Amino acid sequence: MGNIIEIKNLTKRFDKVLAVDNISFSVKQGEIFGFLGPNGAGKTTTLSMLATLLSPTKGKASVNGFDIEKQRDNVRHSIGMVFQDPTLDEELTAYENMDFHGRLYNVPKNERKKKIIELLQLVELDKKKNDLVKTFSGGMRRRLEIARGLLHEPKVLFLDEPTLGLDPQTRNKIWAHIKVLNKEKNVTIILTTHYMDEADKLCDRIAIIDNGKIVAINTSANLKNKIGGDIITIGTNEREKLLNILKKYKFCKSFKEHNSSLTINVEHAETRVAEIVKLADRNKITIHTLAINKPTLEDVFLYYTGKTIREEEATPEDNFKFRVRRMRR
């Protein structure tokens, strides 16, 4: 299948803040494509440009073959959008929220009724169709928003932090529904997330974005294989001293310093641990903790950015500023 989204040198600047920094990539039709990064990394800004809610400072992009600046109406009819912030009318029922959306998109009455029931069944809310949304749990509201975004049969569905703030059991249910939508409806799904497990379990490919730049794009497996070997994480107050010693040994392929720990990439870690402990003891370095793991997406993010997502998280004020900008448009 061909590419349904094409992006070239896309950039967005807010005054002195460079929110999205010259990114280029493409998304294949039928993919579940994920943006993985902390709050403030540029994920939502990128989605907002692709959804024609924001104009790029420079660069080009197309969705379903339509230019995001020159053919905005065509783009908007090609996409469904589920925002990070709730957008349902709590005083309306589930059915009424769906019906109102269908009217906005000029979905014919008979077709609209049929699709509403079908989609509510798909997200297991058909028995709640006449209940007011204000009585719904967070997970039920999220499922309703996803169903609503599909009512006009978009080619692409944008999900901005689809499971933010939900409990693990509800998040798993949302993931299952997203997979079903992707397979049964053949909808290309672009989602933003800062949850490692969400990107790992859902996405065919992942773009790691940090400070407005895409630092890596690949499948989860290939991103982990890029690091290769095993990961040894050593907790010590003498990180620099241990690092300088281990740098002399070829079995240590790469290093990352992180707070009071040192992360080392090695082959066959189980055969090297004793050697590392002996070297530390010989040089009077106290090791507080030591762990061996296969590379995870957390390790991948640390490898490319030097920090964990938790450390990179932006302040709540940053998110508030963006919402204010969006409302002003």
Q: Tell me, yes or no, whether 318 lies in a domain.
A: no
Domain match, 272 and 197 both: no
Query: Residues 142-176: pLDDT tens digits?
Result: 999 999 998 998 999 999 999 988 888 888 988 99
Domain match, 110 and 256 both: no
Decide which of 223, 248, 283 is a domain's last residue: 223
Helical H segments across the chain, by residue range: 43-50, 72-78, 94-104, 109-122, 138-149, 168-184, 196-202, 220-227, 239-246, 269-282, 297-305, 309-312, 316-328
| Residue 322: predicted pLDDT | 40
- 32-36 vs 205-210, strand pairing mode: parallel
pTM of the model: 0.80
Domain that holds residue 172: 3-223
Decide which of 223, 253, 272 is a domain's last residue: 223
Decide which of 204, 223, 242 is a domain's last residue: 223
Structure tokens at 207: 């773009």
263 phi, psi to nearest 5 deg: -105, 125
294-327 in b/e form (b: 16+ CB < 10 A) is ebbbbbbbbbbbebbbeebeeeeeeeeebeeeee
Domain match, 150 and 211 both: yes
Closest by Cα among 71, 18, 35 to 215: 35
Phi-psi region of 15 (alpha: psi -120 to 50; beta: other; left: phi over 0): left
Task: State the total domains in the chain.
Answer: 2
| Residue 170: predicted pLDDT | 87
Q: Tell me, yes or no, whether 306 lies in a domain.
A: no
Domain match, 153 and 276 both: no
Domain match, 208 and 234 both: no
Helix (H) or strand (E) holding 231: strand 230-235
| Residue 1: predicted pLDDT | 67
Q: List beta partners, residue 223.
A: none
| Residue 311: predicted pLDDT | 61
Tell me the HSE value of 34 on the side-chain side, using a 13 A CA sphere.
Answer: 26
8 Å CB contact between 254 and 226: no
Q: Tell me, yes or no, whether 325 lies in a domain.
A: no
Domain match, 121 and 268 both: no
Please report, for the domain that includes residue 241, its CATH number: 3.30.70.260
Q: What is the mean pLDDT of each run of 10 residues along the chain (329 residues)?
A: 93 94 96 92 94 96 97 95 90 96 93 94 93 95 92 93 88 90 91 92 95 95 86 91 91 82 87 92 93 89 82 47 40
Please report, for the domain that includes residue 84, its CATH number: 3.40.50.300
